Amino acid sequence: MSKKDSDKEADKIGEKDDGESVALIEPLLVRESGMHRDKLADLALTLTERSTRLRSALPAGVASALSDLVRSMNCYYSNLIEGHNTHPIEIERALNDDYSDDPKKRDLQLEAKAHIDV
């Protein structure tokens, strides 16, 4: 991809949706011409290396439990940002197919479970 095409792709993030910039929620794309691109790439590599070392140092049971916890935590905060307040206990219940009788809570639980499944 040429620099020009890359910059055009990064500029697409600024498209509007209902009057708000989509860039408010999109991941940051660093242009090839960005002055901090090399330093950010180095930091990303360092983070990847360190997380790989941590993962390999954990016993399988701990890594699995931690992964489940982080998935639920990410689901909770992602949904909260979207205005869908599903309490972590309700998320845990949904993961065990134990749904609320309240239709609103149940819908939020189903959404949370789908989020984690994806």
**Domain definitions of the chain by residue range:** 10-57, 60-118
* Cα 97 to Cα 4: distance, rounded to the nearest angstrom: 49
Question: 107 — phi, psi (to 5°)?
Answer: -60, -40
Question: Can you tell me the mean pLDDT for 93-117?
Answer: 94
List pLDDT tens digits, range 38-97.
Answer: 999 999 999 999 999 999 999 999 999 999 899 999 999 999 998 999 999 999 999 999
pLDDT band at 4 (very low <50, low <70, confident <90, very high): low
* Cα 39 to Cα 78: distance, rounded to the nearest angstrom: 28
Give the pLDDT score at 18.
Answer: 65
* Cα 3 to Cα 6: distance, rounded to the nearest angstrom: 5
